[in-house]
Copies of this chain bind each other. A is one copy, B any other.
Amino acid sequence: MTATLKQIARRTGKSITTVSRALADYDDVSPETKALVRRVADELGYTPNLLAQRLQKRRSDTIGLILPTFGPRFSDPFFSEFLAGVGNAATEHGYDLLVSTQAPGDGELQVYRQKVQSHQVDGFVIVRTRRQDARIQYLQDAAFPFTAFGRMEGDLDFPFVDVDGVEGMRAIGKHLVGLGHRRIACLAPPADLLFTDHRLAGLREALAPHGLALPDDQIINGDLTQKSGFDAVEHLLSRSQAPTAIAACNDLMALGAMSAIQGRGLAVGKDIAVTGFDDIPMAEHSHPPLTTVHQPIYQIGKLVCDMLIHLLRGEALSSRQVILAPKLVVRHSCGSAPQPAVA
A69 within 8 A of B: yes
A114:B258 contact, CB within 8 angstroms: no
In whole angstroms, how far apart are the Cα atoms of A187 and B84 in the complex?
Answer: 26
- The yes or no answer to A132 lying at the interface (CB within 8 A) is no
Contact check, A285 vs B230: say whether CB atoms are below 8 A apart.
Answer: yes
CB distance from A73 to the nearest CB of B (A): 6
Of B73, B100, B229, B280, the contact of A75 (CB 8 Å cutoff): B280
Asked whether A42 is an interface residue with its Cβ less than 8 Å from the other chain, the reply is: no
Q: How far is the CA of A199 from the CA of B81 in the complex (A)?
A: 28
Closest CB in chain B relative to A277 CB, distance in Å? 15
In the bound assembly, the distance between CA atoms of A259 and B290 in angstroms comes to 11
Among the stretches A45-53, A175-183, A308-316, the one at the interface with B is A45-53
**Min C-beta distance of A160 to chain B, whole Å:** 22
Check: A88 CB closer than 8 A to any chain B CB. yes
Alpha-carbon distance between A102 and B90 when the two chains are bound, in angstroms: 12
Bitwise, A281-322 to B at CB < 8 A (1) or not (0) is 110111111000000001000000000000000000000000
Q: Is the CB of A97 within 8 A of B99?
A: yes
Residue of B nearest to A72 (CB): B298
A49 touches B119 (CB 8 A): yes
Complex interface: chain B residues within 8 A of A128 (CB): none
Give the distance in Å from the alpha carbon of A225 to the alpha carbon of B80 in the complex.
14
User: Contacts A285-B255, A287-B258 known; A80 to B76 CB distance under 8 Å?
Assistant: yes
- Is A118 an interface residue when CB atoms closer than 8 A count as contact? yes
CB distance from A10 to the nearest CB of B (A): 19
Tell me, rounded to whole Å, the shortest Cβ–Cβ distance linking A143 to chain B. 11
**B72 pairs with A87, CB closer than 8 A:** no
Complex Cα distance, B285 from A100, in Å, reads 28
**Bound complex: CA A35 to CA B157 (Å):** 42
> Provided the pairs A80-B80, A98-B98 are in contact, do residues A50 and B118 lie with their beta carbons within 8 angstroms?
yes
Instruction: Say yes or no: is A238 at the interface (Cβ < 8 Å to chain B).
Output: no
Binary CB contact string for chain A from 253 to 288 against chain B (1 if under 8 A, 0 otherwise): 001101100110000000000000000111011111
> Of the candidates B2, B45, B51, B114, which one forms a contact with A54 in the assembled complex, judged by CB atoms under 8 Å apart?
B51
24 residue pairs A–B, Cβ–Cβ below 8 Å: A51-B54, A51-B60, A51-B119, A52-B55, A67-B84, A67-B87, A72-B84, A72-B88, A75-B77, A75-B81, A77-B77, A77-B80, A79-B80, A80-B80, A83-B83, A87-B99, A87-B100, A88-B101, A97-B99, A99-B99, A227-B281, A255-B285, A256-B285, A258-B287
